[in-house]
Amino acid sequence: MKHNVIGMCPVCDAKLKVVRLQCDRCKTGIDGNFEMDKFSYLTSEQKEFIEIFVKNRGNIKEIEKDLGISYPTVRRNLDQVIEALGYNVKPSEEEVNKKEILEKLSLGELTSEEALKRLKGE
């Protein structure tokens, strides 16, 4: 039975390290303290998402079909993978604009009708 290497400790959620490598053919073993690559620390769901993303060459419509999920869910999954790999996710202009509109609405600077029009792009 083949098992995949896990990247995170199941007890404390700290990153795990590889301490022994062994050749299947000649049984040569190498002990040490080896770092795993960034992808080793992703969850199995994140790895599956990356595989489907690459298979579909980043085509969001095809990813939606393969996974049976909506565009916002594809974006959220992609953002989670980007963050898990150690990069910052910058919100899109559209997301920033929506946030600003909702802030102005909560501060009373816009009426609900004005906010709705702006959110719809009118």
Q: CA torsion sign, 105 to 110 to 113 to 115? A: negative
pTM confidence score? 0.66
**For residue 75, what are its two tokens?**
């974006």
- Do 47 and 79 fall into the same domain? yes
Judge if 30 and 46 occupy the same domain: no
Question: Do residues 49 and 29 share a domain?
Answer: no
Average pLDDT estimate for 90-114? 83
Q: Of 111, 4, 122, 75, whose CA–CA distance to 18 is shortest?
A: 4
Range of the domain at 104: 93-122
Whether residues 33 and 46 fall in one domain:
no
46 shares a domain with 32: no
Q: How many residues does the chain have?
A: 122
In the chain, which residue ranges form alpha helices assigned H by DSSP? 44-55, 60-67, 71-84, 93-106, 112-120
- Does residue 2 share a domain with residue 29? yes
Domain count, the chain: 3
Same domain, 59 and 76: yes
pLDDT at residue 122, as a whole number: 67
In whole numbers, what is the pLDDT of the chain averaged over residues?
A: 90
Q: How confident is the model at residue 14 (pLDDT cuts 50, 70, 90)?
A: very high
Q: Are residues 2 and 31 in the same domain?
A: yes
pLDDT at 4: 81
Q: Are residues 46 and 20 in the same domain?
A: no
Which segment of 35-49, 64-78, 95-109 scores lowest on mean pLDDT?
A: 95-109
